[in-house]
A and B are shown apart, each in its own frame.
Chain A
Amino acid sequence: MATAEASSNISKVQVRRYKPEEYAEHNYLNVAKGLWSWLTSVDHKRIGILYLVTTTFFFLVGGVMALLLRIELWTPAQTFVDANTYNQLFTLHGAIMIFLFLVPSVPAVLGNFILPIQVGAKDMALPRLNLFSYYLYAIGSLIAVYSILHGGIDTGWTFYTPYSSQTGGAVTSLVFGVFVVGFSSILTAVNIIATIHKLRAPGITWSKLSLFGWSLYATSIIIILATPVLAITLLLLTMERIFGIGIFDPALGGDPILFQHFFWFYSHPAVYIMIVPGFGIVSEIVSTFTRKVIFGYWAIAISSLAIAFIGFLVWGHHMFVSGQASLASMVFSFLSFLVGIPTGIKIFNWLATMHRGSISLRTPLLYILGFLFLFTIGGFTGIALATLALDVHVHDTYYVVAHFHFVMVGGMVMAFMGGLHYWWPKMFGRMYNQAVAKIGCLLIFLGFNLTFMPQFIMGIQGMPRRYFNYIDQFQGLHQISTIGAFVLGIGFIIAIANFIMAIYKGKKAGANPWGSRALEWQIPSPVPPHNFDHIPVIIHGPYDYHQPMADFQLGLATNGHAPAHGAEISAEKQETEE
């Protein structure tokens, strides 16, 4: 109990600087061998890699389903699967991509791996909970796989009642799988918030927290507030199927629109759960590859929180044609426009950071440039969709499909790929082939535009989403879209193959191949088992590119004790080096 008083006394700590080694003999990859050591490790880095492998697997599964859908849409009538299989394919494509890939991807993979290092900690705050959350994810996704094999689901990923409470198939088990995965993401969020609050190393004040950290913080807040509502909604849906409790069933006196309210109270913020971590990656990469202090640090940090908050007020824009009261629709439409403000602030700050910077067009930055282009289109079409009268026209058409793929794939997946290319040398100590990586990036960008630009046009012309057949006039555009999907798929295969090749054949990457000022680049690659030998003392912020590189060495409190949590660090430095 005494430390509470003591911590305020330690306002100045003598800091000795030391230069970390380029290569550590022991790292988290070689510290223990065997599959069992991976499956039981509570090390945040290994858990991150477990998530990376699993989410990539589901990304590929969901991707294959998308390709099957696109092949089916090559001709206006049946091409090679029947209508019911088609319904199951688009349901599973959506459910797998959203719940098993997009939601866990950045927070659980890169967040787990990078965040503790960025805050100067040796692990996440609650390591056992972290491993438990991975197993919840694994169990939940196995249940989802089971549902695919035993009956399939044809409700669409939104599970709208009363159809979902009456249709056959494995809706109950898939819903249960999503329920379990939801708890996994809640526990990850608990861990992230606790880590940021309690484990920041001395010297990392809130104003020196990385913007990736800020974005994960905002994301975690959304997860803990929204996911439980999805959980209870899915539980009610399950009870609806088992007992017919009638809360969402109009035939039993219930209100189906209530389901939509509850569902979108989660699922609109879930869009931000998926995209906000991507914003964090963009901030890191833009600053590193333009060698500039990030422009508008606080504006970017706070706008993430603002998006998190406003995101909870707009869910009804998915329900404009559901029978919702027109007063509510008007309110939701207006509030939805507001989301554009903090998002716009971010875009402007990133552009301002790049302005007159010394830009080096490495692969991570190429992905981020793609992000900026595609996400801006996704954002603007989102504003169009929030407009009440326009939405009534394009509701449930390919316009909506194209919009959220621009945000989710063009935004989030591009940022995730950028982040992987950025941190891969840190994760595995090896550099991938630059030329191949750039070709992959280019194919993904081109393939993506080829796939989804035509869908905007089809949507405006009235092509409804989720339809098995279509009228002949759309065939040309559909075929362009299908070709684009294959280009996109080839791009991803090239990028993933390049990553795997890098682990085995890549050149050794030093501790800091990009010349970044951020903390994770000041320790060896691959990361040592406990990240830091000592709890470090941090003197400069992660974006202080106006300081010479030589200043970015870890500090170590010289009185032998790490300063108490929250102590202020004076920048008095002794020029001793180890």
Chain B
Amino acid sequence: MSGHHSSSYKLLLSVAGALLALTVLTVVVHYMYIPEPYSIIIAVVIAVFKAALVALFFMNLYWDSRFNTMLFITAFVFLTLLVGITLLDVLSRDVPVPSF
């Protein structure tokens, strides 16, 4: 398992192009003022897609040892645990923000 991977210039440039296009897309969608639950979902989905492009092709995860990909995914899994279980508490409390 050797981690050296050499991408072609064409690939690197087209990934950057795709990232720019997605950035334009997400700003355009923002100015269309889609109602609340959907706008955030669309924005986050586009962000996840962009992040995936960077991770796969700039950070070379696509060609790299699977273990590195697993590490990166693990980080998000545990982040979900932190946020998810914390929200479980916050959302089911009688008084969400205790005030003195």
Within 8 Å by CB, do A and B touch in the complex?
yes
User: A residues within 8 Å of B by Cβ?
Assistant: 1, 3-4, 197, 225, 229, 250-251, 253-258, 261-262, 265, 312-313, 315-316, 323-328, 331, 566
B89 in contact with A313 (CB, 8 Å): no
- Looking at the assembled complex, report how far the CB atom of A335 sits from the nearest CB atom of chain B, in whole angstroms: 9
> Would you give the shortest CB distance from B84 to chain A, in whole angstroms?
10
Query: How distant is the Cα of A316 from the Cα of B88 in the complex, in angstroms?
Result: 11
Q: Which residue in chain A gives the minimum CB-CB distance to B99? A: A250
Inter-chain contact A258/B86, CB cutoff 8 Å: yes
Compute how far the CA of A200 lies from the CA of B30 in the bound complex, rounded to whole angstroms: 52
Q: Tell yes or no: B37 within 8 A of A by CB.
A: no
Within 8 Å by CB of B98, from A225, A256, A265, lies A256
Q: Does B100 contact A (CB under 8 A)?
A: yes
Residue of B nearest to A197 (CB): B67
Which residues of the partner chain A approach B75 to less than 8 Å between Cβ atoms? 225
Q: Which residues of A contact B98 (CB under 8 A)?
A: 250, 255-257, 323
In the complex formed, the residue of A with least CB distance to B97 is A255
- Say which residue of A3, A253, A257 sits within 8 Å of B89 (CB atoms): A257
A414 vs chain B, min Cβ distance (A): 30
Count of B residues near A, CB < 8 Å?
23
Q: Mark B22-41, 1 if CB is under 8 A from A, else 0.
A: 00000000000000000000
Complex Cα–Cα for A331 and B91 (A): 14
Chain B hits for A326, CB < 8 A: 92
Q: Which B residues are in CB contact (< 8 Å) with A566?
A: 1
Query: Are B100 and A331 interface neighbours, CB within 8 A?
Result: no
User: Could you pull out 6 A-B pairs where Cβ atoms are within 8 angstroms?
Assistant: A250-B97, A251-B99, A316-B89, A323-B93, A325-B92, A325-B93
Contact assessment for B2 and A3 in the assembled complex, using a CB-CB cutoff below 8 Å: yes
Q: How far is the CB of B82 from chain A (nearest CB, A)?
A: 5
Q: Nearest B residue to A193 by beta-carbon distance?
A: B71
* Distance between A269 CB and nearest chain B CB, rounded to angstroms: 10
B97 touches A254 (CB 8 A): yes
> Which of B2, B86, B92 contacts A327 (CB under 8 A)?
B92
Q: Which 10 residue pairs are nearest across A and B when measured between Cβ atoms?
A: A328-B89, A325-B92, A4-B2, A325-B93, A327-B92, A261-B86, A325-B89, A225-B78, A250-B100, A324-B89
Contact B85 A316 (CB under 8 A): yes
Instruction: A183 to B15: give the CA distance in the assembly, Å.
Output: 34
A-B contact number at CB 8 A = 63
Task: Report the minimal beta-carbon distance from B54 to chain A, rounded to whole angstroms.
Answer: 20
Distance, CA A235 to CA B67, complexed state (A): 31
Interchain CA distance A118-B80 in the complex, whole Å: 35
Q: Is the CB of A1 within 8 A of B4?
A: yes
Closest Cβ–Cβ distance, residue A33 to chain B (whole Å): 40
Minimum CB–CB distance for A245 against chain B, Å: 15
Given contacts A253-B97, A255-B97, 7 further A-B contacts (CB under 8 A): A225-B78, A251-B99, A258-B86, A261-B82, A324-B89, A325-B89, A328-B92
B89 and A251 contact, CB distance less than 8 A? no
Q: How far is the CB of A84 from chain B (nearest CB, A)?
A: 24
**For the complex, what is the distance from the CA of A325 to the CA of B92, rounded to whole Å?**
6
Alpha-carbon gap, A316 to B93, bound state (A): 14
Smallest distance from the beta carbon of A210 to chain B beta carbons, Å? Answer: 21
Report which of A1, A250, A312, A324 forms a contact with B78, defined as CB distance below 8 A.
A312
Query: Which residues in window 69-91 of B have CB below 8 A to A?
Result: 74-75, 78, 81-82, 85-86, 88-91
In the assembled complex, how far is the CB of residue A286 from the closest CB belonging to chain B, in whole angstroms? 31
Question: Are A313's CB and B85's CB within 8 A?
Answer: yes
Instruction: Name B88's closest neighbour in chain A (CB-CB).
Output: A328
Complex Cα distance, B88 from A40, in Å, reads 49
